[in-house]
Amino acid sequence: MASDKIVGSVRRGCDAEYRVLHPRAGALAFAVGSCCGTVNVYIQAPGGDRFELNAAGDRPAVVEIPTAECGEWRVVVSSPKGPEAAAFAVWAGRREGGGADAADSWARFGPNPATRVLNVYYCLPGGGSLLVFDVAGRVVYTHTLAANGSHLEWHLVASNGSPLANGLYLVVVRSAEGQTREVFRLLVQR
């Protein structure tokens, strides 16, 4: 899947605007998640059509556009209520063979490099697991991802509770069926 990822935060009552390039006409999906507060996302197609997504706390939202036009899409994120600022992640993606897979199952991570915490936003209809490997290939952390969940805040500790050392790690999300859904290189810098 080709995708654009926007991870940021927006102050209550303010807007943050982004542009996403969709180079070829075809299926496109937008997904939005917020770990705190409520965020509203307005998506405007190059031709002017508008789509709206609202995510609150642990409820991500997804819109699929099966025949999206090519060009520059405008994405506006706002936080009308909740804490002073709301952290969010927005993903826009398409599958090379057609059909959007952001709505099927996905996982995204941030920030990278991480200093205290790694946020894992996910949508796994059947659930799954998060596995973290060190550069030697040893599993240093595992966590079960619930089918009804959408966010994990991992405090960069190994399964035995000790803090991870600075360095490079490989983070893998597997579906309940054992398929690797996402692979992510994480840099820990404390």
Do 85 and 9 contact (CB within 8 A), yes or no? yes
State how far the Cα of 162 lies from the Cα of 159, in Å rounded to an integer.
Answer: 8
Residue 134 vs residues 105, 115, 163, 170, 183: alpha-carbon distances, Å: 25, 16, 13, 6, 13
- pTM score, two decimals? 0.52
Q: Quick check: helix, strand or coil at residue 166? A: coil
Do 92 and 29 contact (CB within 8 A), yes or no? yes
What does the pLDDT profile of the chain (190 residues) look like in tens digits? 345 666 666 777 788 888 888 877 777 877 776 655 677 888 899 999 998 887 665 556 777 788 888 888 898 888 776 556 666 667 676 544 333 343 445 677 888 889 999 988 777 778 889 999 998 888 999 999 987 667 889 999 999 999 999 999 999 888 887 777 667 889 999 8
Do 139 and 133 contact (CB within 8 A), yes or no? yes
Give the right CATH number for 106-188 from 3.20.20.140, 3.40.10.10, 1.10.3720.10, 2.60.40.3580.
2.60.40.3580
